């Protein structure tokens, strides 16, 4: 089997999720390429060494500039904050690496476009990590829509609700600083609902949106200073799709009691589907053809359901981390089949155009064309 040496930048939340995914994919799925956990990179030497040992990375490094163009690296997996995505991806593209980047693709539309152009110019395989596409129940929803079971699609209604930021005493961090994160709930949560909208319904043509920051100053950790918060805490938009459907997305970090409530409902002329990440093995399905009125719950854990052949017997449910394993699987299969990965940097740019239109609409208070 061909080996594929992976270099990962960032060892935080996503660094750990991706480390796990690269390890799991080779154990549970038949892949033509075997990922090798070659080198993990982070700025704090003690911490990166600890994570490297924990996940069996062969080496660790503290400067990404020394890693992304190494001859013994095939894939550069970008798991660091938004402001680092463009410089790392541009350097890795120049070195002809396979590019795998966390979402949102970049902090601005211009940066995202530059990343796509570099990936194309240097003929790199490229992929963005919108992992929720790869929850089996979400992929099943797409199969049902594609097969016509829902008929013409009228509505996409998405909410992505968290509550970890409600406490105004909670200190600032990179996610609350525009220069580092690009935006707040918009790039963090809303972008996932945009990706699911594009995956399940199609392209968004116009939108009207608002952004809200509830707490605009927060303490700096371990000192007596306050820092400005210059990103949104919540993002809300009305959508028009090219195919005539209409929709809405609400994303917030202030929905008391909601932890990772990533939900959508889609209504068509013949049926509906609804999904909630907090019950991610299930898809609610309504069909006019069904014997009963009302929704039924499909437990998407049978071997016929997307990705489930690799895992356990029916009813033995899987979890959040498996969405990353399936995303990495998609990348490995795309490499083997010599086809574009999905979603890729082109999707990342299209997503970023929508985030950009949200920001324009929030300022102008008018509908914006995407
Ligand atoms: N797909 C998802 O569902 C999902 C979920 C959370 C975060 N993300 C995305 O993943 C990325 C990272 O987020 P996170 O939650 O893991 O953040 P985090 O704060 O937990 O980790 C960030 C890591 O990047 C490292 N880092 C920062 N600057 C660096 C630099 N210049 N060079 C090398 N390493 C650097 C930090 O040391 C840390 O290890 C972001 O783009 C975020 O939007 C995606």
Which DSSP category does 40 fall into? Answer: E
Distance 79 CA to ligand 1 centre (A): 5
pLDDT for the residue numbered 157: 98
pTM above the 0.85 mark?
yes
Mean pLDDT of all residues in 41-50: 97
pLDDT for the residue numbered 293: 75
| Best residue among 40, 67, 77, 79 to mutate for probing ligand 1, ranked by most atoms within 8 Å of CB | 79
Q: What would the pLDDT profile of 213-252 be if each residue is shown by its tens digit?
A: 999 999 999 999 999 999 999 999 999 999 999 999 999 9
Question: What CA–CA distance (Å, rounded) separates 356 from 258?
Answer: 26
Ligand 1 contacts CB of residue 67 (under 6 A): no
Q: Is 117 helix (H, G, I), strand (E, B) or coil?
A: helix
Locus of tokens 């052949």: 309
The 3-state secondary structure of 51-108, one letter per residue = HHHHHCCCEEECCHHHCCCCCCCCEEEECCCHHHHHHHHHHHHHCCCEEEEECCCCCC
Q: Whose CA is nearest to atom 36 of ligand 1?
A: 10
- Token reading at 16: 């750990």
- What's the longest Cα–Cα distance across the chain? 64
Q: What would the pLDDT profile of 302-322 be if each residue is shown by its tens digit?
A: 999 999 999 999 999 999 999
Locus of tokens 């509830």: 214
Ligand 1 contacts CB of residue 162 (under 6 A): no
Question: What CA–CA distance (Å, rounded) separates 323 from 139?
Answer: 11
Q: What does the chain come to in residues?
A: 370
Q: What would the pLDDT profile of 73-112 be if each residue is shown by its tens digit?
A: 999 999 999 999 999 999 999 999 999 999 999 999 999 9
Distance 90 CA to ligand 1 centre (A): 18
pLDDT for the residue numbered 291: 73
What distances in angstroms separate CA 204 from CA 194, 271, 308, 345, 354, one per listed residue?
A: 9, 21, 31, 17, 8
Ligand 1 atom nearest the C-alpha of 132 is 3
Ligand 1 contacts CB of residue 13 (under 6 A): yes
Ligand 1 contacts CB of residue 76 (under 6 A): no
pLDDT for the residue numbered 101: 98
Ligand 1 contacts CB of residue 131 (under 6 A): yes
Q: What sign for the dihedral angle of Cα 329, 332, 337, 338?
A: positive
Question: What CA–CA distance (Å, rounded) separates 235 from 107?
Answer: 16
Ligand 1 contacts CB of residue 10 (under 6 A): yes
Mean pLDDT (the chain, rounded) = 97
What distances in angstroms separate CA 239 from CA 84, 139, 266, 285, 369, one per listed residue?
A: 30, 22, 13, 23, 10
Nearest to 269 by CA among 289, 249, 284, 283: 289
Ligand 1 contacts CB of residue 235 (under 6 A): no
pLDDT for the residue numbered 194: 98
Distance 10 CA to ligand 1 centre (A): 6
- Residue 296 parent element (H or E): strand 296-299
Ligand 1 contacts CB of residue 84 (under 6 A): yes
User: Where residue 211 falls among pLDDT bands split at 50, 70, 90?
Assistant: very high
User: Where residue 290 falls among pLDDT bands split at 50, 70, 90?
Assistant: confident
Question: What CA–CA distance (Å, rounded) separates 116 from 132?
Answer: 22
How, if at all, do strands 2-9 and 33-41 pair? parallel
Q: Whose CA is nearest to atom 21 of ligand 1?
A: 12
- Residues with Cβ within 8 Å of residue 355, at least 6 apart in sequence: 104, 109, 183, 186, 187, 190, 191, 194
- Token reading at 219: 């303490």
Q: How far is CA 48 from the centre of its chain?
A: 23
pLDDT for the residue numbered 51: 96
Distance 181 CA to ligand 1 centre (A): 10
Ligand 1 contacts CB of residue 343 (under 6 A): no
What distances in angstroms separate CA 114 from CA 118, 127, 250, 310, 352, one per listed residue?
A: 6, 15, 29, 37, 12
Question: What CA–CA distance (Å, rounded) separates 35 from 33?
Answer: 6
Ligand 1 contacts CB of residue 42 (under 6 A): yes
Distance 145 CA to ligand 1 centre (A): 33
pLDDT at 65 over 80: yes
Ligand 1 contacts CB of residue 327 (under 6 A): no
Are 322 and 175 in contact, with CB atoms under 8 Å apart? no
Mean pLDDT of all residues in 101-127: 98
How, if at all, do strands 59-61 and 2-9 pair? unpaired
Q: Whose CA is nearest to atom 31 of ligand 1?
A: 84
Beta strands in 75-193 (DSSP E): 75-78, 98-102, 126-129, 153-161
Ligand 1 atom nearest the C-alpha of 101 is 41
- What percent of the chain stands above pLDDT 70? 100
Q: What would the pLDDT profile of 257-288 be if each residue is shown by its tens digit?
A: 999 999 999 999 999 999 999 999 999 999 99
Nearest to 24 by CA among 284, 274, 326, 238: 326
Distance 91 CA to ligand 1 centre (A): 18
pLDDT at 126 over 90: yes
| Best residue among 9, 10, 47, 115 to mutate for probing ligand 1, ranked by most atoms within 8 Å of CB | 10
Ligand 1 contacts CB of residue 102 (under 6 A): yes
Residue 211 forms beta bridges with which residues? 235
Nearest to 241 by CA among 269, 205, 267, 265: 205
pLDDT for the residue numbered 1: 72
Are 204 and 193 in contact, with CB atoms under 8 Å apart? no
Ligand 1 contacts CB of residue 219 (under 6 A): no
Ligand 1 contacts CB of residue 11 (under 6 A): yes
């Amino acid at each position: 089997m061909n080996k594929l040496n992976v270099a990962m930048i960032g060892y935080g939340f996503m660094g750990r999720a991706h480390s796990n995914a690269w390890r799991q994919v080779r154990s549970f799925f038949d892949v033509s390429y075997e990922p090798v956990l070659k080198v993990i990179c982070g700025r704090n030497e003690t911490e990166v060494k600890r994570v490297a040992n924990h996940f069996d990375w062969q080496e660790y490094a503290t400067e990404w500039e020394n890693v992304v163009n190494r001859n013994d690296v095939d894939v550069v997996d970008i798991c660091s904050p938004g402001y680092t995505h463009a410089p790392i991806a541009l350097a890795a593209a120049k070195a002809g690496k396979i590019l795998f980047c966390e979402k949102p693709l970049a902090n601005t539309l211009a940066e995202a476009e530059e990343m796509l152009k570099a990936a194309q110019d240097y003929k790199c395989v490229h992929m963005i990590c919108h992992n929720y596409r790869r929850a089996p129940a979400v992929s099943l929803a797409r199969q049902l829509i594609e097969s016509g079971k829902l008929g013409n699609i009228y509505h996409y209604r998405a909410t992505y609700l968290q509550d970890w930021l409600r406490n105004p005493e909670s200190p600032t961090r990179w996610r609350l600083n525009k220069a580092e994160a690009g935006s707040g709930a918009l790039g963090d949560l809303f972008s996932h609902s945009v990706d699911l909208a594009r995956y399940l319904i199609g392209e968004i043509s116009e939108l009207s949106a608002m952004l809200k920051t509830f707490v605009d100053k927060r303490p700096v950790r371990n000192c007596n200073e306050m820092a400005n918060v210059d990103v949104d805490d919540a993002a809300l938009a009305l959508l028009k799709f090219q195919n005539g459907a209409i929709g809405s997305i609400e994303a917030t970090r202030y929905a008391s009691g909601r932890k990772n409530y990533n939900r959508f409902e889609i209504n068509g002329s013949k049926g509906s589907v609804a999904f909630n990440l907090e019950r991610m093995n299930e898809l609610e399905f309504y069909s006019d053809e069904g014997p009963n009125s009302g929704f039924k719950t499909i437990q998407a854990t049978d071997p016929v359901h997307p990705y489930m052949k690799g895992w356990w017997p029916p009813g033995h449910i899987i979890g959040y981390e498996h969405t990353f394993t399936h995303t990495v699987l998609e990348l490995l299969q795309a490499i083997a089949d010599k086809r574009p990965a999905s979603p890729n940097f082109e999707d990342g740019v299209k997503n970023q155009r929508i985030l950009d239109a949200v920001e324009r609409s929030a300022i102008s208070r008018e509908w914006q064309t995407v």
